[in-house]
């Protein structure tokens, strides 16, 4: 290794380790279902995004296996050369039905999708109004576009209004866009889309909602935009196939002309190989299951409401959660980490999330109940929470 690189790595790694910020990655010895095994120990899993349990659903697995038999393991090319197999087209058609939009373009991941879509439309003569708590991939996607980034305070509609008005009246920008998460991943609160749509209308803002945590979870599964009945007002609906859908991939749902443009101008679509046939077929199957029945969706919410109420009743601070994402806000960073470790020792896997991912002094354990948890699993998790909460003087 060159000396410069060696020095850089040694200094920075030891500094991270000194601060206790070096993240050791846990190896999971089972599929990512409601019960997982880590370091040989069984854990109730409250940390996966597998909201509906579809990552391990037998029907979805069968669709993936069949696709491998019929189509092989790789797409063989980027979408714009000859990597668009019938399974990719079917996925996009099914997604458009699911979202209720004219068309859909799919990408290799949700992260990739934000890299692709923002910079295909916005450039250095434009400005983007971005919620301060937006996901890292939105922040990177905005940077890549080279547009001016104007952050507004989290879900603060007065601040958005003021800054949108100032940006519009300055006359400095060609186009303006407002971007928000549909559901915020650290707090579980829902974006104020009706007000955002109103402000967008008044100041000609292009509207962009990243609904990674909302799809499959809100609006009978179709997402946050449907939840508010705003399909006609939101230009870009971003989704991921890796959370509630249980597979991998990302997509933009919108008007046909927008999707046509993204197919010729978004770089990851043009220069990176398409998802595998198994991914495309499994995601298509999962979405079809969601369109046929609301059973999983209803079970998710029943479990989420049950866990939220139980933790609240014990006296935990669950912040502003309105969705299955249920944080337990502990506060102090050290205590939060000790709390998470004690949960692990007692058989509950729920990760601590601390500064800089969330503001200082708001360290939390983030709980993600799913449709696949049984009441007994949730009861066991709640009793561990009670034990550890009392032990550490949190409740």
Rule CB under 6 A: is residue 326 a binding residue for ligand PLP?
no
Catalytic pick among 88, 135, 243, 285: 243
Q: Is there a catalytic annotation at residue 148?
A: no
Determine the Cα–Cα distance for residues 285 and 62; give it in Å rounded to an integer.
9
Q: Is there a catalytic annotation at residue 375?
A: no
Q: Using CB atoms within 10 A of its CB, is residue 15 exposed (0-12), middle (13-18) or buried (19+)?
A: exposed
Instruction: Let me know: does 47 contact 25? Beta carbons within 8 Å.
Output: no
Determine the Cα–Cα distance for residues 284 and 286; give it in Å rounded to an integer.
6
Instruction: Let me know: does 191 contact 184? Beta carbons within 8 Å.
Output: yes
Total residues contacting ligand PLP by CB under 6 A comes to 13
> Quick one: which segment of 91-99, 116-124, 205-213, 348-356 binds ligand PLP (CB under 6 A)?
205-213
Residue with tokens 């846990």: 26
Determine the Cα–Cα distance for residues 231 and 228; give it in Å rounded to an integer.
8
Q: State both tokens at 33.
A: 């279902």
Give min distance, CB of 243 to ligand PLP, in A: 6
Contact with ligand PLP (CB under 6 A) among 71, 111, 152, 316: 111
Q: Evaluate the omega torsion of the peptide bond into residue 356 and state whether it is cis, within 30 degrees of 0.
A: yes
Rule CB under 6 A: is residue 212 a binding residue for ligand PLP?
yes
Binding map of ligand PLP across residues 231-270, x = CB under 6 A, - = no contact? ---------x-x-------x--------------------
Q: Is there a catalytic annotation at residue 99?
A: no
Binding map of ligand PLP across residues 159-198, x = CB under 6 A, - = no contact? ----------------------x---x-------------
Catalytic pick among 213, 226, 285, 351: 213
Give min distance, CB of 181 to ligand PLP, in A: 5
First to last CA, the chain: 51
Determine the Cα–Cα distance for residues 364 and 319; give it in Å rounded to an integer.
10
Q: Give SS3 for 38.
A: strand
Determine the Cα–Cα distance for residues 140 and 145; give it in Å rounded to an integer.
9
Rule CB under 6 A: is residue 50 a binding residue for ligand PLP?
no
Contact with ligand PLP (CB under 6 A) among 48, 50, 119, 137: 137
Instruction: Report the residue number, 209 or 378, with the smaller CB distance to ligand PLP.
Output: 209
Residues classed as catalytic:
185, 213, 243
User: Which positions lie near ligand PLP, rule CB under 6 A?
Assistant: 109-111, 135, 137, 181, 185, 210, 212-213, 240, 242, 250
């Amino acid at each position: 290794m060159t000396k410069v690189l060696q020095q850089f790595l040694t200094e920075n790694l030891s500094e991270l380790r000194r601060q206790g910020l070096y993240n050791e990655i846990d190896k999971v010895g089972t599929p990512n279902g409601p019960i997982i095994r880590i370091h040989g120990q069984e854990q109730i899993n409250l940390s996966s995004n597998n909201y509906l349990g579809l990552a391990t659903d037998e029907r979805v697995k069968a669709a993936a296996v069949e696709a491998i038999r019929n189509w092989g393991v790789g797409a063989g090319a980027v979408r714009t050369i000859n990597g668009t197999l019938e399974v990719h087209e079917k996925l996009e058609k099914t997604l458009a039905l699911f979202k209720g939009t004219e068309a859909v373009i799919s990408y290799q991941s949700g992260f990739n999708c934000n890299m692709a879509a923002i910079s295909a439309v916005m450039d250095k003569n434009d400005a983007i109004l971005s919620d301060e708590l937006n996901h890292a991939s939105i922040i990177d996607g905005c940077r890549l576009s080279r547009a001016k980034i104007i952050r507004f305070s989290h879900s603060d509609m007065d601040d958005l209004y003021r800054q949108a008005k100032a940006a519009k009246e300055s006359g400095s920008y060609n186009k303006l866009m407002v971007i928000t998460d549909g559901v915020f991943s650290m707090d579980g609160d829902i974006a104020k889309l009706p007000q955002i749509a109103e402000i967008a209308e008044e100041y000609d803002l292009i509207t962009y909602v990243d609904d990674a945590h909302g799809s499959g979870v809100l609006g009978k599964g179709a997402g946050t935009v449907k939840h508010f009945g705003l399909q006609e007002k939101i230009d870009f609906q971003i989704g991921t196939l890796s959370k509630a859908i249980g597979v991998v991939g990302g997509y933009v749902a919108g008007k046909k002309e927008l999707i046509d443009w993204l197919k010729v101008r978004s770089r990851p679509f043009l220069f990176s190989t398409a998802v595998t046939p198994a991914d495309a077929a499994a995601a298509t199957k999962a979405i079809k299951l969601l369109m046929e029945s609301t059973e999983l969706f209803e079970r998710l919410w029943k479990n989420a409401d049950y866990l939220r109420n139980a933790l609240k009743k014990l006296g935990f601070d669950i912040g502003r959660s309105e969705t299955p994402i249920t944080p337990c806000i502990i506060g102090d960073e050290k205590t939060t980490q000790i709390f998470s470790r004690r949960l692990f020792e007692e058989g509950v896997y729920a990760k601590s999330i601390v500064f800089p991912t969330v503001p200082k002094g708001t360290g939390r354990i983030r709980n993600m109940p799913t449709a696949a948890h049984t009441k007994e699993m949730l009861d066991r998790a709640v009793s561990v929470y009670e034990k550890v909460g009392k032990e550490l003087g949190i409740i």
